[in-house]
Structures are given as structure tokens and as C-alpha cells.
Structure 1
């Protein structure tokens, strides 16, 4: 059984004792981190990335004293790494020891920036021990298909004179809480020097501070739907490790609502049923959680959320399967409305993704619901008392700007199903232009494209935003579904050929035909007053301009790869390749 004690301080492990494979322990040198993307690099730095502007200051971030290794300033982050022998649960004891200066506002993290404790205050020449459980398992980095099999524990800490004198790691058995979901609860990486206000956080990153005897394994990833979480291999990792008595929390919806085949009471609820069945089959406990609300918008004198239907589906499947249900959607929607403008933005990075303050707030709701509903077996586990003082008014909202070389889309293409296709080079370009989702592994290049789903990527290519409210011209679209804003914009911008719709039906789920595709693109090339162009003319013009391969019959369904390829060519034709994405294009916080 693995058991090691690491002594930190003068004459022992110092701030200059850097991690080496030969020794298997030490502080991580942020200037020598493997990985191609910020996301991958952060996995080798405990969920952190060093700000480019701070490279010159790294030497001042840590000091070795007789009492341990302490931070050189209150926003510096120190990361200690220790190799272990195998996957599984480990108990960690952290001895925090202050020297001549008191410790103020110390925060302790483990793994991929999972918050263990915050607001640690110690007077000079005193000590405190914090105990928790962490979990080591494979993890598939964002924007790649290859699992990271590293067997190591990362301990990171920050704060004013924050100091650790001893770390004890012991292999143990403990119940495991597995997390399955999307970017709103994943382990988000953050820049340091650390500013909570400007750090994207998933709410499951904040759970460990409450449960000192539970190991948390967060396999949630940005961009995930109930389909691709399974297809991309994340669910397999959970199934390989899960044991009777473990718990699995499921929260999806933000990305499902953008897929026509994952309607709330269609593919989405069916997938939740399957997950619940598989969890129960191994003797574990499923918990269904409705998706957190985005910052709501006002319509008809009421605040609205586009995720209400998926939240209702969560309630329905929980009732049907008799499993615990935490209605985060209602709890967060009510909170965001109560905060109002502009205060609600203090908890968000954008309209969807919370910062560390928002993530911490939502985690507190989850824990409160576990206790209120007596959700087994978590309700019987010890819960740390945690103060609610971690709010945006406790720290600066002025975050240093960060210049970066490259961006989220300047990366190796992640899709495992496009090797050798003739459109490959244009798929690389489509990714660079922000037309494709960088977080999923399957592009499905030969699949057809539903008409309404096409509009989201089409509007990215035109660099246009959708328009709300949807005024209901077509009865086969609802006012508050994801795609209706794009349909409303198409109506107002005269982008829809009347021969492709009826007076009451847009046909959102029908496969997009070559002629319909051509019509959208050619109309998009003209001013709004010049868009009354017939399908036949659009088809011929699209072929002539290279937007559409000439092997398609007008009524044939166009493949996704050819859709994306034509949109790349359209953007070059419109000279829009250097323009920013529209404001309503949700970007997953990866890089």
C-alpha cells in the first residue's frame, strides 16, 4: 500500500526541489510543462496555466523557510506533484504552518484545481492539518482523443504567506463521487497569478471542500452532450472504475439542446434513462441534476431560460426512474434573476460559464440539496462547514489582460473520423475559423445536416447573431428553443426561399438538401434587398463559385463535411475570415 510523507522546508524539500521522474516528487516548474494546448499543459500543472506576463516573476513566487515552503505573494500559486503507483483513492494530510507572518486568505487545491479549502487564516507561528480524499484515474484532455494515464497527485496553494510544511499521502478505500457532464461543471483550468473573478470554474470543482471523506472523480468535459460523453470515451473511464456504493451525478443539456436528435423528451431523456440503468446495474447511485441556467433574458415581461424544457425532462426521468433529482436549473435561474443586472455578471465569464465565484455558489446549492433531500449515500458522509464569504465583493474585479499567441482554434484537429476524407484541409480551416466544436472527437463527416442545426454554423460563417424573440411564424419551432433565434433572423434577413417551407412549417429536422444549402449561401452573398433568387439560380451559382460540389443533385441531402467545406469557401469569398465570431456563438472555455 502506498504511503509517503514529504517534509517541506529548509534542509528538506525546498522551493527549488523541482519534480523529476527519477524522484517522483517535487514542485512543478511552470516554465517547463509538456503539452500543445493550454488545456493539456494545465493537466501537468494542477489545473493552472502561468500567465505570459508573469514568466519573469516566477523566481519570486516561492520562498523556503524553516516552517515550510510559502508563497511569495498572495496571488502566486505553488504546485507540488507526487507520483503514485496506481489509480484509486488516496487520503492526503496537509500540514499548514505559519512562520513569522500570519497566513491570510489561503486556498488549497488538489488534482485539476479542485478546491479543498479556502479562507484559511492562521496567526504567526501556528499550524493546522487539513485532511481530504483525492482520486487518481485516466482523463482525456480537451481537444484530443488520447487518455492521459498519468498516476500523480497535484497539490496547489495560494494566498498571503500561504505555507505547507508536510504532505502525507496514503492509499485508501473511499466512496467515489463521479461527475458526468459539460463545461458548466468540468474541471476548468485557470491562469495565475490567480484572480477568482477572471477564472472560469465548473461547479463540481468546488465540491471537494465539503466532503473530506469522499473521493471526487470529475470526468465532465466542455462541449459534451449525452451522446458524445459516451462516444468520446469519457463514460468508459467511469464504467471501468466504478464500484458498488459509488455515486454518479449527471448534468447535461447545454449542448444537447443544440442537436436536433437530442430533443429534451427525445434523445436526451432516452440517454439519461440509459445512464441511470447502467449506473444501477453496478450497484452505484445515480443523481440527476438539471442544467444550470444561463444568464436569463427578458421576454413578454418575464425572465426566460432556453433550458427549461431540458430541466423538465430531468425531472420527468428522475420521477420515472425513482432517482434523486437536484433542480439546479430552477435554483440558479431564481438566483440570477434576484441578482439582476449588472450584478449577475460578477458570477460569470460569459452568459453561460461561471467564474470561480459562480461555481462556488452553485456547489453550495448542490450540497444543500443533498442534505435537504437526504440523498444517499452522500447525506450520511461528513460535511465540512464552509462559510459563504467567497463572493465577488471580497476581491478585485480588475483582472490583468493577457496576450496570447494563437487561440483556441489554432490547434491540431481533434476529430478521429475524418482521416483521409477529401475535405480534410478545409476541415482544418473550418476549425480555425471557429465553425467547428473543438471539444468533441467525432465530426460525423458523411452524416446529413438537419436544416435548423445547419443555421447555427451558417450564422457563424456569416458572422451574424440570431434574433429574439422568435415571433412564431412556423409552428414546428417553439419560441424558446435554441434554433428559433436563427430562424427568426433568417426571416428578417430574407434568407429563406419560400419554396423550401410552408406557411406554418420550417421543417427543422429534415435533412438539408443541396439546393436548400445553395440557397442559404447565395442569398447570404447579397444585400437583404437583393435576395429574392430562385432555388435553380442559387444552385447553379453555388456550384460555379465552388460552394457546392457538382456531383449533388438539387434534392440530394448534403453531407456535413461538404457543408463545412462550402462555408469555408463562402467566408473567403466574403473576405470575412478575420472577423470575430458573433456575440451569441457559445465558445467552450478551453485553449
Structure 2
């Protein structure tokens, strides 16, 4: 592991030395993640991921490239070549947001499952390669499910994986967005019933894409995805990465009290 960390530091310093402010492209945001993050086609409305709305909290001209896809873990995202394709898109100065954990924890699906040790190795690879390309990796702890204990407090369903991210953030000096903590705090304030409006709990016949209705406390609807994107943007603004300058101080499109009925920002 010392070899990995030494290589990480060397690549980071090399990339910094080779990239001058005059050469650097305007900062962009690339996103790697799972179904809670991905961008959905209109035929799937109201299901949405927070990466779908992140640009709605950014200044005009900001570029967000959301490469998150449902059902993927760090293991399958790498195995399918998705990480390599994201790497091929990276430009020096970009910020790479990385949220996994939900599917890494799925023991019943071996193509996805990565225990915390493998999860750590996979994330370390993502950090190392992002920095080697002159980009700025940011770890994002897995967003909360609507899962409450008997006392009415939300549960940390992926605590072991969030712990790995927090440890890696400290040991590799990688910025961290604690979306797990922020989203749990938010839905704790709302309570189990209040938080229902953010998730895919749909009445029969309410939406063409889900004629039989839906009971899903993992995935977000439009309103919930906007709210989660706002939590990401809020923490991103406080990090020492180029993309922090892209975040708008006021984000009305992410702070809506009612759904717009569209994936648009306005």
C-alpha cells in the first residue's frame, strides 16, 4: 500500500508541474456512480438521480458530465470499462465526483459485490488515476435510503463503505463530500413520513412509466434528486477544488418545495 500512496503522490506532483494556469482547460465536473446518481431519460419520469440536477446549481456555462449508471459498483464500473472511458474524457483541472457503495454491498450479485477491502482498492485506483491525469477526485459517501429505526432515526445502511471513504479521504488527502451524513440529517428532520416525498413511492396510475405504482425507498423522484444535488453542491462549494468556484450561492432550482414535472432546471 505504501507503493500505491507513493505513486499517488508522485503522479499528483508531476501533473501539477506539467499543467500551468495558461494551459488548464476551464474546470468541468465528471460524475461516477450508481442509480441514485445517474441521469434518466424522460420516459422514466419521475425517477431521477442527483447527478442529473447538479448542473442546476452551477453557474452558467458550467459543464457536468454524468457517467453514473444504475446497478454498478466500483467493481462492475471498472470491469465494464466505464471507468476507463471516463478517464479518456478527463482534462487537467477537472473535478471527478465518485459515489459508490450501494451496489458494492450486494453480496447476492457477485458481479457487483466488493467487500470493504476491495472497495478501498478500487477507490484508491480511481483516486490515483484521476490525479495522474491532472484531475481532482472527490469521494462522495453513499446517499441515504429512507430506512428508519424504531426510534425514528435514519439508518446508515452502508456504514462500512462510508467508513472506507472517510479513511481514504484522510490518508490520501482527498476531498470528501459526506452525502450520507448530510442526507441522513435532512431526512431525520423530516421524519419517516415527511421523507417519503423524496423517494419513488408512487400511487397506482400516477405516472405513465409506473402504471402499477411503486414502493421504493432507495431511488429518488425529481424532488428528492434535486434536494440531494443541493446537498452535494453545498459541500462542493467549500472544497479546495476548481469546481468549487462553479457553485451558485443561491440554488433555487435545487431548493424547490414542489416538483416541476420535468427534469429541466427552470
Classify the TM-score, shorter chain: 0.7 to 0.9
Per chain length, whose mean CA-contact separation is higher, i.e. which structure has more relative contact order (CA < 8 Å, sep 6+)? 2
Task: For 1:176 and 1:302, locate their aligned partners in 2 and report how far apart those are by CA, in whole Å.
Answer: 36
**Is 1:320 paired with 2:171?**
yes
* Correspondence for 2:99 among 233, 251, 268: 251
Task: For 2:168 and 2:243, locate their aligned partners in 1 and report how far apart those are by CA, in whole Å.
Answer: 21
| Equivalent residue number for residue 487 of structure 1 | none
* Correspondence for 1:279 among 103, 107, 130: 130
- Secondary structure of 1:222 counterpart: coil
Does the aligned pair in 2 maintain the 1:296–1:333 contact within 8 Å? no
| Equivalent residue number for residue 206 of structure 1 | 53
Task: For 2:164 and 2:103, locate their aligned partners in 1 and report how far apart those are by CA, in whole Å.
Answer: 15
Q: How many angstroms does 1:382 deviate by?
A: 5.8
Q: Which moved more, 1:383-392 or 1:199-208?
A: 383-392
**Residues 278 and 209 (structure 1), Cα distance of their counterparts in 2 relative to 1, 3 Å cut:** same
Task: For 1:359 and 1:181, locate their aligned partners in 2 and report how far apart those are by CA, in whole Å.
Answer: 14
**Residues 341 and 380 (structure 1), Cα distance of their counterparts in 2 relative to 1, 3 Å cut:** closer
**Is 1:215 paired with 2:63?**
yes
* Correspondence for 2:192 among 341, 357, 366: 341
Task: For 2:106 and 2:84, locate their aligned partners in 1 and report how far apart those are by CA, in whole Å.
Answer: 24
Q: What aligned pairs does 1:169-568 form with structure 2 within 5 A after superposition?
A: 174-191=26-43, 199-211=46-58, 212-259=60-107, 262-264=114-116, 266-299=117-150, 302-349=153-200, 350-371=216-237, 373-381=238-246, 383=248, 385-387=250-252, 389-392=255-258
**Residues 361 and 240 (structure 1), Cα distance of their counterparts in 2 relative to 1, 3 Å cut:** same
| Equivalent residue number for residue 22 of structure 2 | none
Aligned residues, how many? 216
Task: For 2:152 and 2:235, locate their aligned partners in 1 and report how far apart those are by CA, in whole Å.
Answer: 30
1:265-288 Cα distance to aligned partner (Å, 9 max, x none): x11111111110010111110000
Does the aligned pair in 2 maintain the 1:296–1:337 contact within 8 Å? no
**Residues 222 and 300 (structure 1), Cα distance of their counterparts in 2 relative to 1, 3 Å cut:** same
The structure with the greater share of residues assigned to helix is: 2
Q: Which runs of 5 or more structure 2 residues have no equivalent in the other structure?
A: 1-24, 201-215, 262-266
Task: For 1:183 and 1:301, locate their aligned partners in 2 and report how far apart those are by CA, in whole Å.
Answer: 26
Does the aligned pair in 2 maintain the 1:174–1:215 contact within 8 Å? no
Task: For 1:275 and 1:382, locate their aligned partners in 2 and report how far apart those are by CA, in whole Å.
Answer: 24
TM-score (ref. length: structure 2): 0.75
Task: For 2:67 and 2:181, locate their aligned partners in 1 and report how far apart those are by CA, in whole Å.
Answer: 24
1:450-472 Cα distance to aligned partner (Å, 9 max, x none): xxxxxxxxxxxxxxxxxxxxxxx
Q: How many angstroms does 1:174 deviate by?
A: 3.5
Does the aligned pair in 2 maintain the 1:188–1:202 contact within 8 Å? yes
Q: Which runs of 5 or more structure 1 residues have no equivalent in the other structure?
A: 1-172, 193-197, 397-591
- Secondary structure of 1:353 counterpart: strand
Q: How many angstroms does 1:384 deviate by?
A: 6.4
Does the aligned pair in 1 maintain the 2:152–2:192 contact within 8 Å? no
Does the aligned pair in 1 maintain the 2:233–2:247 contact within 8 Å? no
Task: For 2:246 and 2:42, locate their aligned partners in 1 and report how far apart those are by CA, in whole Å.
Answer: 30
Does the aligned pair in 1 maintain the 2:153–2:188 contact within 8 Å? no
Does the aligned pair in 2 maintain the 1:296–1:336 contact within 8 Å? no
1:529-582 Cα distance to aligned partner (Å, 9 max, x none): xxxxxxxxxxxxxxxxxxxxxxxxxxxxxxxxxxxxxxxxxxxxxxxxxxxxxx
Rg bigger for which structure? 1
**Residues 358 and 381 (structure 1), Cα distance of their counterparts in 2 relative to 1, 3 Å cut:** same
Does the aligned pair in 2 maintain the 1:297–1:305 contact within 8 Å? no
Q: How many angstroms does 1:300 deviate by?
A: 7.1
TM-score (ref. length: structure 1): 0.35
Q: How many angstroms does 1:299 deviate by?
A: 4.8
